[in-house]
Structure 1
Amino acid sequence: MTAKKTSVIGFPRIGKARELKFASEKFFKGEVSEADLQKAAAEIRQYGWQKQKAAGISFIPSNDFSFYDNVLDTAFLLGAVPARYKELGLSALETYFAAAHGYQGAKGDVKALPMKKWFNTNYHYIVPELDDSTELALSGDVKPLQEYNEAKAAGIQTVPSLIGPYTFLRLARYNGNKKAGAFAASAVNAYLKLVEQLAAAGAEWIAIAEPALVFDVNDEEKQLFKSIYAFLLEQVHAKTSAKILLQTYFGDIRDVYQDVVSFGFDGIGLDFVEGLKSLELVKAGFPKNTVLFAGVVNGKNIWRADYAQKNALLAEIEKSVDAANVVVGTSCSLLHVPYTVAAEQKLPAETLKHFAFAEEKLVELADLANADTAALEKNKALFAAVRVSENAAVQAALAALGDADFVRSPSRADRKKVQKEVFGLPAFPTTTIGSFPQTAEVRANRAAFKKGEITREQYVAFNQKKIAECIALQESIGLDVIVHGEFERNDMVEYFGTQIDGFIFTQNAWVQSYGTRCVKPPVVWGDIHRSKPITVEWSVFAQKQTNKPVKGMLTGPVTILNWSFPREDISLKAQAQQIGLAIRDEVLDLEKNGIKIIQIDEAALREKLPLRKSDWHKEYLDWAIPAFRLVHAKVKPETQIHTHMCYSEFNDIVRDIDAMDADVITFEASRSDLKLLDALNEAHFETQVGPGVYDIHSPRVPSVEEIVNTLHKILDKVPQENVWVNPDCGLKTRGETETTASLKNLVAAAKQLRAEA
C-alpha cells in the first residue's frame, strides 16, 4: 500500500520558548535592534520547517509566520496601510507595529487598527482598513516570496500560504463609499502578480486560504468570490505552472461548494473536524483530477487523535475520492496548539500520553498516512483504557438542576432601584475591569511562592501590601468602584483552574492570543468541582481597606471553558454547567462575606459561537447563556452582578447578552469605534453598560478631551442612567505610569460629563 501524502496548514510561530514574544518586546523598548529581531524570527521559521521536514510532511507551509498577525501582513503586502501610519516616518517594521498596537512618541500619536477574534478561536486578528483612496497593489518587500526563498535556501520546498483576496475583503473595514466589490479587480491583479513571482521562484503549489467561505455566504458575497476566482484561476493556469490549493478551515463550505468544485482548483482543502457537512458535500461529488486536502487531525485541541475513528473517516472520504488524490492534513493551522509535549517535565507520562501538541500532530499525520500497524495498535489500546472516572457528587448536582436554578428574581428593573439606594453612586460611575499592572516584582513573588522559596505568610503579606497600595491609588485617582488588582493571579482562567478540581496544567504549553500576548490554557481533565473558596480571602481583605465598594472578581464558566482545552468525551454543555456550579459556590461565598458587587467575566462568550447563524442557538447559545445565569441566579437583589466581554462582534447577539440578566456589562469597544452602540440602541438594551473608552492593548495615554468625546458618542446611543465609564479591559499588561495617567484622565472626563449633565 502506497503511503498517502501529508499536509500542515500552519505551524506555531511564537518560538518554542516564546522567543518571538521576548525579542519583540525588547525591540519595542529599544533594547535590541531590528536585525536582532529579524534573526530571532528567522530561527523560529527554520525550526518549524526543519521539524516538518524531519516528520516527512509532504506539503510544508511558508509565510505562516508573522511578527504580529497574517491579516495585517496581507494589508501591508497589498499596500492597504492608512496614511496616518505612513506619515509617522518610521521604518517599515516600526510602521507595521504602529498599526498593530498604536504609537505615541516623538513622531506622533496614533491608535492601533481594530482587533477582532479570528473566527471561532482565541486568536485575534488586525482588521484591515480601506477607504475610497486605497489602491491595492503589491507593495514593499514581498514577504511570501522572501520566506519561500528562505526555506528553499535551506533545502526545503514549501507551499507559500496566503490569506485569500475574498477573505481579506470580507474581513476588511470600509471607511468610505466603496465596498468590497470595488477593490476586487485590483486585489486579483496583485495576487496574480504575487503568484507569478512565487511560481518563477520555484513554488510548485500555492495555498490560498479562504476561511471566510465557512461563514453564511449570501448571493452578493458568492458573486464576489466567483468574480475573483473566475479570473484569477484562468490567468494563473495560463501564465504559470503553479498549482493552486484553495484552503478552508473552521467549518464547511456548504453555500459555495458547488462553485468551488467547478472552478478547476488543483487542490481543495476541507475541514472534516469542524465542518459538519464536509463529508456529505464530498459524497455529493468531487472533481476527479483534483487533490483533496482532508483536514482530519484536529488543529485546535490537544488530545490524541483516535486513529480508528480517523481511518474510518478517511475510508468514507475515499468512497468518493480516489485514494491517490487524498492528502491527510490538519483541520486548521497548528498556531492554536502548543509546540510539543516534550517540553512538559512535571506532568506524569500517564497523563502526557493522551496529548498531541503541534510536533506530535506531525507524527499523527505520518502514522495515519503510512497506516503504521504498531502505531494503530498502540493508539487502539490508549482509547480502550479508562482515562478518568466520574465524580458522583458532581453528576448528582447536575441531575438535580431545575428551571429555578437559571432564573434570578426580582426583575432587573426592580434590582436597579434597590441597588441605586444601596450604592449611591454618582452619574457616570467609574471603575476598571479588574487587573492592575503586574510588575516584575509581582511576578517574582508569585513565582517564589510557587517554587516554595517563600512561605505562604510571606506571599500573602506581599500581596496584601500591593492590594492596599492599589486601593489607595484608586481612591486618590477618584474611581468610584474599586478593584483589588489581582496580584495573586497569573491568568484569569488558569488562576481559577488551579484551584478547582478537574483541571490540569502544563508547564510550557503556550499559544498565541495576539501579537506578543501568549496564554497557557488549562486542560479540562475530569469532572469539575470546587472544594474550597478561591477569592474570598483577597476580596474581604480588600474591602476592609476602603469604604468604597470593591468588586469581587471571577471568571465565568463559558470563558473558563472556551479558554481551556476542553474534554472531547462529554458535551461542552455538561462541562460549562459543571464549571458554573463551582463558580456559583464562589459567588455565594463572596456575597455571604459582604462583597456587594461581583464581576463574573465572560470575556470569551462569543468566541465559540458557531460561524453559521442557523447553528447559533441549538449548538451554543441555548446552553452558554443559561450557564452564566446559573452562576448568579441565587444572589440577593442588592448584590450587583457585573460581567465583561472582550473584542468580538456582539451586534447580532446583543439580545442574548441582555438575556444573561447581569446588572452591568462592560465591553471592549474602543478599537471598533463604538459600533456596538447602534446595536445596543436598536435592541433597547436594558443592562447598564460600560463600553471601553480607551484601548488598553496600546501604551498610549488617552487625553481627557478624547475620553469626553467618546462618552458623548456613547450618550448619543445609551441612556445616561445606564452608562458606566471604564477602560477596555484589564490593565495587567500595561505599565504603572501610563495606567495612572490614563485613569486620572478617565475620572476627569467622567467629572466633566457630570458637570455638563
Structure 2
Amino acid sequence: MKTSVIGYPRIGTLRELKFAVEKYLKKELTKEELQAIASKLREENWKVQKNNGIDFITSNDFSFYDNLLDTAVLLNIVPNRYRQLKLDALDEYFAMARGYQGDKGDVKALPMKKWFNTNYHYIVPEIDDDTEVLLVGSKPFDEYVEAKNCGIETKSAIIGAFTFLKLVKFTGKRTVEDSIADIARAYSDILNKFSVLGAGWVQFDEPALCMDLSEEDIVLFSKIYERILSEKKNTKVLLQTYFGDIRDCYNKVVTMPFDGIGLDFVEGKKTLELVKSFGFSENKTLFAGVVNGKNIWRNNYSNTVNLIRELGEYCNEIVLSTSCSLIHVPYTLKNESSLFQEYKKHLAFAEEKLTELSELKKILSCSDPASTEEYVDNQKLFNLPRNCEENTAVQSAVSGLSKDDFIRYPDSGEREKIQKAVFSLPLLPTTTIGSLPQTAEVKENRSNYKKGKITFEQYVTFIKGKIAEWIALQEKIGLDVLVHGEFERNDMVEYFGENLDGFLITEKGWVQSYGTRCVKPPIIWGDISRSKPITVDYSLYAQSLTSKCVKGMLTGPVTILNWSFPREDISLKDCAFQIALAIKDEVLELEANGIKIIQIDEAALREKLPLRKSDWHSEYLDWAIPAFRLVHSGVKPETQIHTHMCYSEFADIIKDIENMDADVITFEAARSDLSIVDTLSECGFKTQVGPGVYDIHSPRIPGIQEIKKALIKMLEKIPKEKLWVNPDCGLKTRGKTETVASLENLVIAAKEIRRSLSV
C-alpha cells in the first residue's frame, strides 16, 4: 500500500511566500530573489513529504498567486488588455491577479470567486474570441525537473480540462463547445511533454465532477478526455476528484482509460456506496481520500482501517490519500508553543496529516492492524472523552429556541419607512464596508501588546488615536455613514474567536485565502458563549467623536462558523445557533448603548453551500438563514441592520439572501462586472442594496468617471431610494493614501449623480 498527497500548502510555515511576493510588488525584492525564495519553499515542501514516507508527492501545487491563473497562463489564455501593457511575464501575471495602474496603462484585475465550498479564492480566467488556446508555458515541467534534481520523483498536479472549462469565463461569442478541440490538444501536449521527461504520473484535478452534472456535462467531459487520453504514452494519468462524490458520472469515469482515480471518502457521502454498487476497474488504482484535507482533527484509524478493508473487496490496488489539497489547513503543530498538549493531541495540521498517512500505511501493511503501536495509541485517544468545555446553559438555550426567535417585527417594508424618517440620509448614502487600512504601525501596536512590550492602556490609547484620526478623515471625505475602522482586530473571524468562549486560537495556524492574504482560522473546541462585551467600547468611543452615525461592526454566525475549524461531535446547525446567540447578545448591547446602525457581516454565507442543489436547503440554508435572523430578530424597528457578502455567485440563492431580512445588504460587484445588479433586478429584490463600486483587492485607485459609470448602470436596475454607495469589501489590506483617494472619488461621484437625480 502506498500514500499520496493531493497538494501541500505553499505560503511557507511562517508565511515566507506572502512576505516575499509583497516585497517584490513593492520593488523591494528582485525577481531573482523572489524565485530563489520560491524554489527553497518548494524544496522544503517536497522534502517534508518524502521524510514522512509519502510515495506520491505532488509538484506544481505551488503558485505565486493562484493555480487556476497559472493554468490559464500555461495555456496562453491572457486577455488582450493585459498583453497590451507590454509587461514581462511575471508582472503581466500579477496584473491579471491584482490589476495594474502605472505608466503603461490602467486595467482592472480579473474577477475572483470562491473555490467550490472553501474559503480559498481563485482568479477567473477569461477567454476572448481571438484567444489561441495552446501549450506555451513551462511551469509544471520546470517544477517537475526541479524536484527531480532534488532527488524526488513527483506527480504534477494540473487543474483538469473539464473543471477549467466550467470555471473559465467566455467574453465573446466563443463557447465551451468551440474550445473542446483546442483544450484537448493542449492537455495532450502536456501529457506528451511529461512523457518525454520520463514522468511516472500526472494528476488532473477535476473537482467539478462532484457538482450536479447534466447529460451535456458528461458528454463534454467524455469528449475532452477521450481526445486527451487517445494519444497517452508512458505517463500514467490520475483523475483526481474532491469535495464530494461523483455519483452523476461514476460509471463513465471508471470505464475510461485513466490509470488512477482519486475519490473523496470524507465529503463524498455516496462514494463508498458507488464503489460497492458498481464496482471498480481491476486495472486501475484507487486513490482513496481518507485523511480530511479541510479540517484539523485527528483521523480515527479504526474507521479508516475498516473502510480500506471494505474497499479492498472491490479494488486491487489502493493508495491512501488526503481527501483534498492540504492548502486548506495550517502547516504544522510544531509552531504552536502556547497550545496545551491536551488540545494538540487531538489535532492534525498538514505535516501531522503526512504522519497519519504514514502510520495508516504501516498499520494496513500489518497482518493484525489492531496490534500495532500506532493503532493502539490512536484508539486510546478516541476512547477517552474529550474535554470540550460543555456549557449546559448554551445547549439549553439552543434546544429551547422557538419560531418567534427567528422573526423580526414589523416587516421590512414598514421598517424601511421608519428608518428613512429616523436617519434622514441623502439619496445614494455613502459608506464603507467596515475595516480601514491595517498599516504597519497598527500591526506593530498589536504585536507589541501581545509580546508584553506595551501595556494594555498604551495599546488602547493607540487604537483610540487611530479611530479619532479616521473618524475625522471620513468626515472630511464626506461619507454619510462612518465606521470605527476595526484597528483592534487582526481578522474579522479570529478576533471574535479570541473574545468568545469555546474557541482555541493558534499562533502560526495560517491558511491562504487568496494571493498573499492569509487568515488564521480559530478552532471551535467547545460550546460557544459570550461572557463580556466585545465591540461596544470602541464603537461608543467612535460615535462620541461625530454627529454622524457610526456603524457597529460584527461578524455573523455563519461566517464565523465557516471560517473556523468546526467541531465534528455536534451538528453545524447547533454550532451556528450557539454562535448566533452569542452575537445576538452583542447586537442588543450595541443597540442599548445608542448604536443605531449595526452591520453583521456574512461574507462566507455561500461557502459551505453543498455542491449539489438538492442538498442546499435540507443540509444548509434551512439553518444558515435562520442563524442570521436569530442574531437580529430582537432589535427595535428603528435600528438598521446591514450585512455584507462577497466573492461568490449569489444569483441562485438570491431569494434566500433576501430572506435574511436585513435592512441593507452590500455585495461585492465591481470585480464581477456588476453582474449582481441584473440578478437583483430580475428577482425583484426589495431590500436596500449597496453593490460595490470598486475593487479593494487591487491597489489601483478608481476614477470618478469610472464610479459614476458604475452607479449609472446600477440605477438602471435599482430604484434610487434603495441604492447605497460603497466599495466592494473592507479596506484593511489597502494603504492609507490609496484608500483616501479612492473614497474621495467615491463621494464625489455619488454627489454628482445625486445632484443629477435631484434635477
TM-score range, shorter chain: over 0.9
The equivalent of 1:386 in structure 2 is: 385
The percent of aligned pairs where both chains have the same amino acid is: 63
Residue 680 of structure 1 deviates from its aligned partner by: 1.0
**Unaligned 5+ runs, structure 2:** 364-368
Give the partner amino acid of 1:379. N
The equivalent of 1:243 in structure 2 is: 236
The equivalent of 2:357 in structure 1 is: 365
1:356 and 2:338 aligned? no
Distance 1:753 1:165 in 2: 45
Distance 1:285 1:720 in 2: 59
- 1:682-734 Cα shifts (integer Å, max 9, x gaps): 21111110010000000000000000000111112211111000000000010
The equivalent of 1:376 in structure 2 is: 375
Distance 1:716 1:173 in 2: 24
Partner of 1:430: helix, strand, or coil? coil
Partner of 2:499: helix, strand, or coil? coil
Give the partner amino acid of 1:754. R
Distance 1:588 1:539 in 2: 13
Residue 447 of structure 1 deviates from its aligned partner by: 1.6
Give the partner amino acid of 1:406. F
1:83 and 2:80 aligned? yes
Residue 452 of structure 1 deviates from its aligned partner by: 2.4
1:92 and 2:89 aligned? yes
1:201 and 2:193 aligned? no
The equivalent of 1:133 in structure 2 is: 130
Distance 1:463 1:153 in 2: 51
Distance 1:315 1:657 in 2: 44
Structure 1 stretch 588-597 or stretch 241-250: which is displaced more? 241-250
Residue 194 of structure 1 deviates from its aligned partner by: 1.2
Which residues of 2 match residues 668-747 of structure 1 at below 5 A?
Answer: 668-747=668-747
1:150 and 2:146 aligned? yes
The equivalent of 1:228 in structure 2 is: 224
The equivalent of 1:312 in structure 2 is: 306
- 1:270-325 Cα shifts (integer Å, max 9, x gaps): 00101111111111211111100000100011110111111122122222222xx1
Q: Which runs of 4+ in 1 moved over 6 A?
A: none
1:560 and 2:560 aligned? yes
The equivalent of 1:488 in structure 2 is: 488
Distance 1:539 1:706 in 2: 33
Which residues of 2 match residues 620-631 of structure 1 at below 5 A?
Answer: 620-631=620-631
Distance 1:57 1:752 in 2: 62
The equivalent of 1:168 in structure 2 is: 164
Distance 2:161 2:716 in 1: 36
Partner of 1:301: helix, strand, or coil? coil
In structure 2, the CA distance between the partners of 1:389 and 1:487, relative to structure 1 (3 Å rule), is: closer
Give the partner amino acid of 1:384. N
The equivalent of 2:421 in structure 1 is: 421
1:8 and 2:1 aligned? no
- 1:68-118 Cα shifts (integer Å, max 9, x gaps): 000000000000000111111111000000000111111111100000000
The equivalent of 2:296 in structure 1 is: 302
Distance 2:343 2:96 in 1: 42
Relative to the length of structure 1, the TM-score reads 0.98
The equivalent of 2:119 in structure 1 is: 122
- 1:629-676 Cα shifts (integer Å, max 9, x gaps): 000000000000000001001010000000000000001111110111
Partner of 1:498: helix, strand, or coil? helix
The equivalent of 1:179 in structure 2 is: 175
Distance 1:738 1:389 in 2: 45
Which residues of 2 match residues 400-549 of structure 1 at below 5 A?
Answer: 400-549=400-549
Distance 2:189 2:258 in 1: 18
Contact 2:127 2:170 in 1 (8 A): yes
- 1:441-483 Cα shifts (integer Å, max 9, x gaps): 1111112222222222222211111111111000000000000
Residue 489 of structure 1 deviates from its aligned partner by: 0.7
- 1:591-644 Cα shifts (integer Å, max 9, x gaps): 000000000000000011001100000010000000000000000000000000
Partner of 2:690: helix, strand, or coil? strand
Give the partner amino acid of 2:315. V
Contact 2:435 2:485 in 1 (8 A): yes
Given candidates 46, 51, 64, the residue that maps to 2:48 is 51
Instruction: State the Cα RMSD in Å.
Output: 0.8
Contact 2:264 2:324 in 1 (8 A): yes
Partner of 1:328: helix, strand, or coil? strand
Give the partner amino acid of 1:309. N
Structure 1 stretch 729-738 or stretch 443-452: which is displaced more? 443-452
The equivalent of 2:253 in structure 1 is: 260
Structure 1 stretch 272-281 or stretch 439-448: which is displaced more? 439-448
Give the partner amino acid of 1:279. L
Distance 2:451 2:17 in 1: 26
Given candidates 256, 268, 281, the residue that maps to 2:274 is 281
Residue 389 of structure 1 deviates from its aligned partner by: 4.2
Distance 2:452 2:51 in 1: 40
The equivalent of 2:29 in structure 1 is: 32
- 1:416-453 Cα shifts (integer Å, max 9, x gaps): 00000000000000000001101111111112222222
Distance 2:523 2:743 in 1: 36
Distance 1:457 1:23 in 2: 34
Distance 2:500 2:543 in 1: 24
Contact 2:389 2:525 in 1 (8 A): no
Distance 2:158 2:487 in 1: 41
Distance 2:310 2:170 in 1: 43
Distance 1:408 1:728 in 2: 28
Distance 1:160 1:610 in 2: 28
Distance 1:562 1:17 in 2: 24
Contact 2:389 2:502 in 1 (8 A): no
- 1:158-201 Cα shifts (integer Å, max 9, x gaps): 00111111111110001111111111111111111111111110
Partner of 1:747: helix, strand, or coil? helix
Distance 1:274 1:717 in 2: 40
Contact 2:121 2:514 in 1 (8 A): yes
Distance 1:176 1:398 in 2: 51
Distance 1:403 1:315 in 2: 46
Give the partner amino acid of 1:258. N
Residue 264 of structure 1 deviates from its aligned partner by: 1.8
The alignment of Structure 1 onto Structure 2 pairs a total of residues equal to: 748
The equivalent of 2:655 in structure 1 is: 655
**Unaligned 5+ runs, structure 1:** none
Give the partner amino acid of 2:243. F
Distance 2:308 2:671 in 1: 43
- 1:110-163 Cα shifts (integer Å, max 9, x gaps): 100000000000000000101211110011x41110000000111111001111
1:751 and 2:758 aligned? no
The equivalent of 2:366 in structure 1 is: none
Residue 348 of structure 1 deviates from its aligned partner by: 1.0
